[in-house]
Each structure stands twice: as structure tokens, then as C-alpha cells.
């Protein structure tokens, strides 16, 4: 079974969170951290600088995606599992969580995240609101008195003082608020199995839930085996080849008749003219139903070929490797590029300068959820990598003492920033001349200066000096009056001889 969802609901203190984690770990299920998804929304809201309390400013929710997969939270295809645990997100997550438009959108994202694999979700409205079609619903409960005792015991274990009567009162008030609130109130789903944990240990509750899951899985798997699925157009099936002709093959798909696949629905390669030698009896082929009549079931493999090709895009994105693409056409706000038969969108902002149809170059495929099928190509990422590598190589060739010609890129009161090639460094005002000058009046952007490298720190930051290459006032005086000085020296020597 490819997909199986367990929904566990219950009041605060019933143990649903800790028990859910244990069950998921023992059975190899994904325990979906719905709180992490609210943290991802908070992170995006903080990045956009919106007023967190203004519901109208959450319209950006329609432009983002949040997916929880394999214990990783993806925001717009990027792993943000660490970023959502920062202090600023923790301090602000409670505000978006109260807003209806956010909760409604989270339901959508939670459902999308639970579409594949075996998933266990816990909360207060999972079986009634988030996953009303869950394969198994469990409602964990316990008496308010027992939950108060557990809370007191937990506090004692971490050295916190607690008053039983106060905690009992708080739990009862919380139960009332949760069960009467307007948005997604706490209540048991009609088809949920209730487990009262008041007199049970954690291990006993875990065992009960595991038994329920295994029973439900067993009954569903047997039902699927005993009852062949009625095929519909677009269903994906696996068929075993039972007969081969030049232009047609017949497949056993365990239905009222064999499925028919023609050659042009097996491959797009026009050079292939026959099935013979291409497949053999007994081969299993994954395909999609395209048409059903009273006599025939027609299937095609072309969509599956597209799916297989698309996996190359996902692999390229997950590995962060560079791939070669061809620019196919210019579209609104960017280009469509081809990578092994896959059409990938490249925004203009990530295309680099002078990109045109027909160009071939390397790009980096940015990560995205497989379900969304919206990969993004970035030539800019590759150009940036090449630029940084070239810059690092250029810096490696520069040493303290080197004399270079550099152009003024920016002028401030404290100095001028000089650039040559890809490298930039600082010429401090005090190092421009042997006498005090206002450097903003001495140089302007675009001027060319001859300077010497006087500092290169561990971070490859450079500092220059111009005055080290020019004469001091004394040296200038000597050069300007060298003939007079020589005459005086000769004169003094003659007097000394007399």
C-alpha cells in the first residue's frame, strides 16, 4: 500500500504527541510535525516584513509552497528545517497560528504532504478537519484529573514547582476553550476509535495503537487483493506482456480483457519501427489507461516516460550539480530551457545577460517538491560560482608588495575603493599622500591610480598605498635642487681642504 494516513486527536495532556512519535518510529511511519509548517509560514512572513497581526497581509500564502517530507520541511522547495528553529521564529510563531487564513492554508499544505507514504499526524482537529478521509482515526483521551497528575509529575522531573488544583483548573478551562472555539474545535470524529489512557501506561497505549494500525492495514491490503480495481481513464497500471506484434503489444492488467498498446504510445523515437526485439513476453510495463471500450482497454507509456525523465530534474536539484540546457523559447518573465526532454522555467533574473533562444549553457536546477513539478533553472548560480572561482584565483596571485594599476570605483571621506579585474580593495585617505588631503577632492570615480598592496588579511581583504610609491617632501626637495646641493657639497669640500 503506497499511502496510509493515521489521524490521532485528543485533548491537551492525553499523551498524543509523545505516543505518536513512538508509534511512528516503531512502524517506520512519517510523524508529521504540523507545528513546523506553521513555523515555515512565520519564517516567510518575517522575511517579507509584514505585519504579523494583519490577516490581509497574508495574501502571499497563494504564492508559496510548504511541504513536510521525510522529516524535512521545505519552503518553496528549500530545506528550512534549521531556519525555522531560530529564536525570532519561535518568538513570533503563535501570532500567525491564530489567523484563519493561515490555518486554512496549512490544512491544504498538510493534505499535500500526506498524499504519499505512510503518515501519522496528531493534533486536535486532524480527523475532523485536516484529514477527514484518514485511513484510521484514533481519539486519545484521559480524565482531567489524570492529565493534571501527569503534568505535575512532568514539572517535578524538571525541577518545577506545581500546584495540582491550579493545573487541574487550567486543563478544564483549556478543554472548554478547545471544544467551543469557532475555528476547528476539538471533537471526536464519528468514525474515530476512542482510547482512554487514564489507567494505561505509555507502552500499553502504543501497543493498542500499533495493533489497530496493523489490523487496518491488513484488512485494506486484503481487500485490494480480493477486489480488482475498476479501471478508469488516466489510471496507472502495471501490465505483463502476453503477445507481441510489430505495431502492437497486449498486456495482462487483470481486467475483463487484455490491454492494448500501440508502438507510438510506447516511444517517441521515430526510428523504432517494431516491438519485436524491443520487448519480450513476460516483461512488466508501467503505463496509463487512455481509453476504455466494451471490448478493449487502451494504454500508453508516454506519460511514464515523461515521469522517468522528470526524475533526472529532481536528482539534479537534490545533488546541486550543474547540467547543460538549451534555451527553447522566451516566455513572460523568463525563458523555457530544455534538459533531457524536460521543459524547465528560467526567470529573467536568473538568466544572466544577453540570453537568447538557441543558447546552450550550464545551469543549476533549484530544488522543488516533486508534486509541484515546477523546477527552476538558474544560469546566474553557475555564473556566480564561476565568478567566485575566478576571483579567488585572481586573489591568490596577488601578494603584499605588488604594484598595480587600479580604477577608482567609489570614494568616501575615509578612503577610495579601487577595483582591478574582479578584485577590490581600500586605499585609505592617509595612504594617498604624504601630506593631509581631502581625498574626495583629489580623486573621482573612474580615475586610474598606481598603488602598492600593503595588506592582505586572512579574509583576502586588500589595502593599498599610493604614497609609498611617491617621494616624501624631503626626497622631492632633493630632486628639485640636486644641482644646487651638488655645488654646495663641492664648495664645502674645497673650504675643508683650505
Specify whether 166 is located in the same domain as 212.
yes
Measured CA to CA, the distance from residue 33 to residue 21 in angstroms comes to 10
**Is 257 part of a structural domain of the chain?**
yes
The enclosing H or E element of 52 equals: none
Does any domain span residue 358? Answer: yes
Look at residue 306 and tell me if it is in a domain: no
Q: Going residue by residue through the chain (498 aa), what tens digit of pLDDT does each one get?
A: 568 999 998 887 788 888 988 998 999 888 887 878 889 999 999 999 999 999 999 999 989 999 888 788 999 989 999 999 888 988 898 888 888 899 888 888 888 888 888 899 888 788 888 888 889 999 999 898 988 888 888 778 877 788 888 888 888 887 887 777 666 677 888 899 999 989 888 899 999 999 999 998 877 766 554 445 678 898 989 889 888 999 999 998 888 788 999 999 998 878 889 998 899 888 899 999 999 987 889 999 988 777 777 777 777 777 777 888 899 988 988 898 888 777 788 888 888 888 889 999 988 888 765 455 577 888 888 888 888 888 888 888 888 888 989 999 999 999 999 998 888 899 999 999 888 889 989 899 999 999 999 998 877 789 999 988 887 877 777 777 777 777 777 777 777 765
The answer to whether residues 10 and 139 touch, using CB atoms and an 8 Å cutoff, is: yes
Closest CA to 404 of 458, 348, 463, 460: 463
Asked if residue 393 is part of any domain, the answer here is: no
Query: What's the pLDDT at 227?
Result: 46
C-alpha cell at 268: 517517441
Q: Are residues 86 and 199 in the same domain?
A: yes
Kindly state whether residues 380 and 465 are assigned to the same domain: no
CATH number (domain holding residue 245):
2.40.50.140
Whether residues 17 and 125 fall in one domain: yes
Return the residue matching grid coordinates 517530507: 69
3-state secondary structure (DSSP) of residue 294? coil
- Burial degree of 417 (CB within 10 A; 0-12, 13-18, 19+): middle
End position of a domain, from candidates 224, 255, 287: 224
Q: Which of 183, 204, 224 is the last residue of a domain?
A: 224
Q: Answer yes or no: do 425 and 472 share one domain.
A: yes
- In terms of domains, do 25 and 67 share one? yes
Closest CA to 15 of 250, 201, 164: 201
Closest CA to 123 of 205, 40, 10: 10
Clarify whether residues 452 and 334 are in a common domain: no
CATH code of 115's domain: 3.40.50.300
Question: Is 254 found in the same domain as 147?
Answer: no
**What is the largest distance, in Å, between two alpha-carbon atoms of the chain?**
136
For residue 8, what pLDDT is reported? Answer: 92
Q: Specify if 451 maps to a domain.
A: yes
Does residue 45 lie within any of the structural domains?
yes
Asked whether the beta carbons of 26 and 140 are under 8 A apart, the reply is: no
Question: What stretches of 11-127 adopt beta strand conformation (E)?
Answer: 30-32, 66-69, 72-75, 78-79, 117-123
Pairing relation of β-strands 259-262 and 248-252?
Answer: antiparallel
pTM (two decimals): 0.43
* Structural domain boundaries, residue 495: 398-498
Same domain, yes or no, for 32 and 155?
yes
End residue of a domain, out of 267, 300, 333 = 300
Tell me if 231 is assigned to some domain. no
Same domain, 430 and 449: yes
Specify whether 405 is located in the same domain as 370: no
The total of structural domains in the chain comes to 4
Give yes or no for a contact between 139 and 195, defined as CB atoms under 8 angstroms apart.
yes
- Domain assignment of residue 229, yes or no: no
Q: Are residues 326 and 452 in the same domain?
A: no
Amino acid at each position: 500500500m503506497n499511502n496510509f494516513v493515521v489521524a490521532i486527536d485528543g485533548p491537551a495532556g492525553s499523551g498524543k504527541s509523545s505516543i505518536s512519535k513512538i508509534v511512528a518510529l516503531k512502524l517506520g511511519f512519517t510523524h508529521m510535525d504540523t507545528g513546523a509548517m506553521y513555523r515555515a509560514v512565520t519564517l516567510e512572513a518575517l522575511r517579507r516584513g509584514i505585519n504579523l497581526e494583519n490577516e490581509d497581509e497574508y495574501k502571499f500564502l497563494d504564492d508559496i509552497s510548504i511541504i513536510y517530507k521525510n522529516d524535512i520541511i521545505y519552503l518553496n522547495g528549500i530545506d528550512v528545517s534549521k531556519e525555522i528553529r531560530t529564536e525570532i521564529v519561535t518568538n513570533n510563531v503563535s501570532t500567525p497560528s491564530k489567523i484563519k487564513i493561515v490555518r486554512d492554508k496549512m490544512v491544504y499544505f498538510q493534505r499535500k504532504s500526506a498524499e504519499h507514504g505512510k503518515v501519522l499526524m496528531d493534533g486536535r482537529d486532524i480527523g475532523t478537519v485536516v484529514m477527514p478521509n484518514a485511513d484510521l482515526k484514533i481519539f486519545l483521551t484521559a480524565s482531567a484529573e489524570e492529565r493534571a497528575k501527569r503534568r505535575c509529575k512532568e514539572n517535578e522531573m524538571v525541577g518545577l514547582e506545581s500546584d495540582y488544583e491550579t493545573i487541574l483548573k487550567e486543563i478544564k478551562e483549556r478543554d472548554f476553550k478547545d471544544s467551543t472555539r469557532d475555528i476547528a474545535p476539538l471533537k471526536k470524529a464519528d468514525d474515530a476509535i476512542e482510547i482512554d489512557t487514564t489507567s494505561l501506561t505509555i507502552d500499553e497505549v502504543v501497543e493498542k495503537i500499533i495493533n489497530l494500525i496493523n489490523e487496518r492495514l491488513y484488512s485494506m491490503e486484503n481487500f485490494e487483493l480480493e477486489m480488482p480495481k475498476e479501471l478508469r481513464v488516466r489510471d496507472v497500471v502495471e501490465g505483463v506482456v502476453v503477445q507481441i506484434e510489430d505495431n502492437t503489444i497486449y498486456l495482462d492488467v487483470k481486467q475483463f480483457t487484455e490491454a492494448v498498446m500501440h508502438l507510438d504510445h510506447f516511444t517517441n523515437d521515430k526510428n523504432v519501427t517494431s516491438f519485436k526485439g524491443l520487448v519480450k513476453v513476460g516483461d512488466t510495463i508501467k503505463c496509463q489507461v487512455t481509453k476504455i471500450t466494451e471490448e478493449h482497454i487502451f494504454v500508453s507509456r508516454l506519460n511514464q516516460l515523461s515521469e522517468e525523465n522528470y526524475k533526472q530534474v529532481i536528482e539534479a536539484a537534490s545533488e546541486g550539480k550543474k547540467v547543460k540546457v538549451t534555451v527553447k523559447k522566451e516566455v513572460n518573465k523568463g525563458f523555457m530551457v530544455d534538459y533531457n526532454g524536460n521543459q524547465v522555467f528560467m526567470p529573467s533574473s536568473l538568466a544572466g545577460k544577453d540570453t537568447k533562444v538557441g543558447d546552450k549553457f550550464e545551469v543549476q536546477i533549484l530544488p522543488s517538491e516533486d508534486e509541484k513539478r515546477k523546477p527552476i533553472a538558474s544560469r546566474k548560480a553557475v555564473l556566480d560560482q564561476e565568478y567566485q572561482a575566478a576571483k579567488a584565483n585572481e586573489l591568490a596571485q596577488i601578494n603584499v608588495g605588488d604594484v598595480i594599476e587600479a580604477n577608482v570605483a567609489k570614494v568616501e571621506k575615509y578612503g577610495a575603493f579601487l577595483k582591478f579585474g574582479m578584485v577590490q580593495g581600500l586605499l585609505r585617505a592617509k595612504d594617498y599622500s604624504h601630506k593631509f588631503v581631502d581625498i574626495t577632492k583629489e580623486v573621482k570615480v573612474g580615475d586610474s591610480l598606481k598603488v602598492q598592496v600593503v595588506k592582505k588579511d586572512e579574509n583576502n581583504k586588500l589595502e593599498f598605498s599610493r604614497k609609498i610609491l611617491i617621494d616624501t617632501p624631503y626626497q622631492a626637495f632633493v630632486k628639485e635642487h640636486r644641482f644646487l646641493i651638488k655645488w654646495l657639497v663641492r664648495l664645502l669640500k674645497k673650504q675643508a681642504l683650505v
